[in-house]
Each structure stands twice: as C-alpha cells, then as structure tokens.
Amino acid sequence: MDMLSSRDKLAAALGRPNIGVGDYYPVCSGAGYRSGETIEKSFGCYLPSEVHRVSERTVSAYAMVKFGGDSLAIGGIPISGNAGVRLIWTRDDTQGATTLPNPFTPAGLLCQRGTDPGTGLPTATSGCVVTQNEINFGNGATVADTTKANHFHALPSFNIKFDLSDRLVSRFAYSRAMSRPDFGLLRNFLTVNRLTPNLNDRSDTNITRDAAGNAIAYDWQYTGQSGNPGLKPITADQFDLTLEYYFGRSSSFTATGFYKKFCDYIQAGSFNVDVTNNGVTESVRVNRPVNGDGATIYGAEFAFQTFFDFLPAPFDGFGVQTNYTYVKNNGIETVNLTNETAGGTAGGGISYDTSTVKARALEGVSRHSYNLVGMFEKGPVSARVAYNWRSKYLVTAIDCCVGFPIWQKEHRLSRRLASPARDRTDRIRPRGDEPARHRYRADAAGGLDRPAQAECLVQERPALSAWRATELLKGGRGVGCVHLGLAPAFFHARLTRYGG
C-alpha cells in the first residue's frame, strides 16, 4: 500500500532494474533509455526528443468598400453590399528531433535455435538475424531539427443584397476562408520504431531461409510517427444564395443554398522515408498528417417564423419557429488525427488505408437536421419549448479501441421561461448592408439554457444571416437566434454570461 500511495516508489518497484524483465524505466529515473533526461522542472523530466517548440507569427491587412444607396439599382432593383480582401502572411518555426529506435537489449541479441515439436520445422529467435547494421542504426540517438515554413493567403469576399420588393429580399455572397492547422499537428518530430520479427512465421516474405528452412537473414522493418511542420492551412471557397420573404411584422420565410470547395484538407498520410543514422540508411514507413486533395460540401437551409397575431389575447402571444438543413459531403476522407500524440489508432495496429471500414463522411456533420420551437411572449412572460433533431453523424472515423467508425444519433427537447419581454415589433426585420460576419446571441432555442446565454459568431456564413436576430429580453439580458444544429466547423458559439 505504501508503494501504491507513492508514484515514485511504484515506478521504481516496477522498473526493469528491480523485476528484471520488460523494458520499462520510470520517468525521472535517469536510467536505461531515460538516461538522456536533461530537462528537469517542477512539473517533470523530459528527454530532448519529448520537447517540441512551435511558434507562429502572422501579419494581416484588409480593405473593404461598401456600395449602395437610393440611386444604385440594376434593372430597377435597388442593390447594396460590400467587397473586400484580407491578406495574411503566416510563419511557423518549429524545433524538434528525430528519435531512433532504442538499442537492442541483451535478450534481443540472444540467438536460440530449435525445432518445433509439432511440425518438425526449425525455429529461431529474432537475435539470430540481427546484423551490425541494425545495431548501428538502432542506437537510440536523438537528432535535433528546426523547420521554418511560410504561407501567404489572399481571402476575398463579396456580398450583395437585392431589394426585390418591400417584403422580398435576395442575397448573394462569396468568400474565401482559411483555417490553420492545430498546433499539435505542426510539431516537428519523427519517432522511429523497429518491428521485431517472428522468425517462425513461414508466410513472412522478409525472412531469408537456407535449404533446411533455417532463418539466416531478415529485411528489418521500421515504422514511424511524425508531425508535419510544413502543413498548409485549409482554405475554402464559399458561395451562398438566399431568398428572404417577410410577410408580417414578426413573420418570415427564408431559403438558402450553399456550396463550399475545400483545398489542402488535412488528412492522415502514410509513405516511405529513408532515414540515415550512424552510417546506415533504412526505409521507414511513416504516418503523419498531410494536406490532401480538395472536397466539397453543399446543401440547403430553410427557416420559418411567425406569431399568431390574429388570435384574441392572450393567445396572440403564441408563435412558432422551424428550420431544416440538408448537408451533402462529397469526397472528404476524415480520419482520427490526434494532436496529443499525432498518431493514429492505439493498440490494434489498424491502418485506415488498408483495413478499416471507411466512413467517407465529415466528422460532426449530419446530413439532415431540423428544429421546431414553440414560443410565447406576452407582457412580462417569455417562454420557449424547442425540439432539435439531427440524423446520424460521424463521431470519429477510427475509434481508439475497436478501430471502426463511430456514429451517433441525437435529438433534444429544451424549454425556457423568462421575463420581461420586449415589444414584438423589434423581433424581426430585413437587415441592411453588412459584411459576411454577423453576431447574434442565442437562447434556449439554440440549445443553450439560462443563465449561460451564448454569443453566436457566424463567420463567413451569409446563409446563416437569414436567421434574423430576435430580441427576447429587456435590459440587455439576451437576444435569440435559431441554430440549425450544424457542426462546430460552421457554427461557433462562445459562452458568455449576461446580467441576471
């Protein structure tokens, strides 16, 4: 029990010097393969190869012009909008190291030959095929490396609104967006691992045998895990076309079509790399994040809102909101890119390229989703009852334990009662000229309950601007927006707290 209560005592008890088996030396032991620990701070001891420094510098500039006015029209239709461009320069400096395989242990160099009693075939341990080249290559060395990468992007945008009539508005928007890689994927490291052969496997073509069937040589195999400090940001060209019909002071119907084209989408890649160490060159099969080919996402969104003003009081305070979204993913192959280890699946040796079930879907995005919200606003009372549904969506393309895609279904019922409420004349109105960047605050209709309201930042998504902001509460306590349940890649909510 004393050892269980002390991490250091437990690690020392299980370490190789005490139990004599295995190849485990505890952190901060300074022994075995941990003998190179040189960085010691209050939070632990690290080998040089375990420390990866990543720095990123950005410089940006932007310009925007607005157009519109009473005299600007096309074919008698008043227009307004804006156009602009943002220029971004990014530099990533990464410091890391290549770590070679650990040296052979005495047990790994031991050669024992025998005969299988069941088959009569000769047997041998892996030490019988170790050569001096393998010993020289796998010496546990750490080779420092520094990489610098520069990226430049121009991100244009264009937004135009057509006032077709007093009640009918159409909008078109184009923009190019950029998303930088996660810092964890930029780490500059390569860890090389040696695969120990089973010389009794007669199907292994890497084994060379003599006429009697004895293993006399082996083509040693090496694998590696690596980050990619040269990853490019993901870019997307986005198009949105919206038609908005306002048929009452608190009623509207909107229909939106959208299309996104991705470039340099980050995926997992696997390829051979020649690594030289101590005068010996070996081919290493490396898994690392890479920029893949482009892909597309397209779909449609429909939203409806009204209050039943024609009913007698107090029933004229009732209303309804509903919306539906269809999203089609075409050509995106997502995989389990982890930024903790930058590795793939754990434990099972599953390869996404060769042996897993391919989900062929974007993680977190449902093909179908809809919301149905019942509302009541009268005097000091404001209430919401919302039902949110989405079709199945991909959680991960490769689960850490079973190596298969994991899907999930979700639906939710939420309700909210709050006061006081504002006059409904401010609930909904056509918006004027705005860039493709809109701010709303979401209430429980978007799935967020009080007192934790949300400020919804819908960036470069003009299609979402069709969901007009609806003021719900006095005193700056919050306003509402409709959330179609899209994945976080398209809808970002930052939780904040407002008074009350």
Residue 141 CA to its chain's centroid (Å): 33
- For residues 213 and 428, the model is more confident at 213
Domain identity same for 334 and 291:
yes
Domain identity same for 7 and 82:
no
* Averaged pLDDT, 13-18: 52
- Is the model's pTM score more than 0.85? no
Q: To which residue do tokens 């006095």 refer? A: 474
Domain identity same for 424 and 280:
yes
256-275 tens-digit pLDDT: 999 999 899 887 777 888 99
Domain identity same for 53 and 13:
no
Q: How confident is the model at residue 414 (pLDDT cuts 50, 70, 90)?
A: low
Mean pLDDT for all residues in the chain: 75
Kind of pairing, strands 368-378 and 221-226?
unpaired
pLDDT of residue 269: 77
Q: To which residue do tokens 């904040």 refer? A: 496
In a 13 Å sphere around the CA of 298, the CA atoms on its Cβ side amount to 10
67-125 tens-digit pLDDT: 998 789 998 899 999 999 999 999 999 998 899 998 999 999 999 999 999 999 999 99
Domain identity same for 324 and 450:
yes
Instruction: Give the number of domains in the chain.
Output: 2
Q: Which residues of 393-404 are buried (b: 16+ CB within 10 A; e: fewer)?
A: bbebbbbeeebe
Query: CB atoms < 10 A from the CB of 427, how many?
Result: 24
Domain identity same for 302 and 352:
yes
Q: How confident is the model at residue 239 (pLDDT cuts 50, 70, 90)?
A: very high
pLDDT of residue 463: 32
The fraction of the chain above a pLDDT of 70, given in percent, is 69
473-499 tens-digit pLDDT: 223 323 333 333 333 333 332 222 223
Residue 243 lies in a domain: yes
Is residue 295 predicted with pLDDT exceeding 60? yes
Q: Of 28-37, 331-340, 446-455, where does mean pLDDT reach its minimum?
A: 446-455
- For residues 317 and 25, the model is more confident at 317
Q: Which residues of 63-82 are buried (b: 16+ CB within 10 A; e: fewer)?
A: eeeeebeeeeeeeeeebbbb
353-404 tens-digit pLDDT: 554 556 677 777 889 999 999 999 888 888 989 888 888 888 776 666 666 7
Domain identity same for 35 and 71:
no
Is residue 238 predicted with pLDDT exceeding 80? yes
Is residue 34 predicted with pLDDT exceeding 80? no
Domain identity same for 37 and 145:
no
Q: Which two tokens stand for residue 373?
A: 């919200």
Domain identity same for 409 and 330:
yes
pLDDT of residue 241: 97
- The span from the CA of 55 to the CA of 473, in Å, is 44
Residue 483 lies in a domain: yes
Residue 222 lies in a domain: no
Is residue 336 predicted with pLDDT exceeding 80? no
Residue 110 lies in a domain: no
pLDDT of residue 21: 46
Is residue 329 predicted with pLDDT exceeding 50? yes
Residue 425 lies in a domain: yes
Domain identity same for 300 and 409:
yes
Residue 129 lies in a domain: no
Residue 330 lies in a domain: yes
Domain identity same for 385 and 442:
yes
Residue 181 lies in a domain: yes
Domain identity same for 329 and 414:
yes
Q: Which domain holds residue 4?
A: 1-46
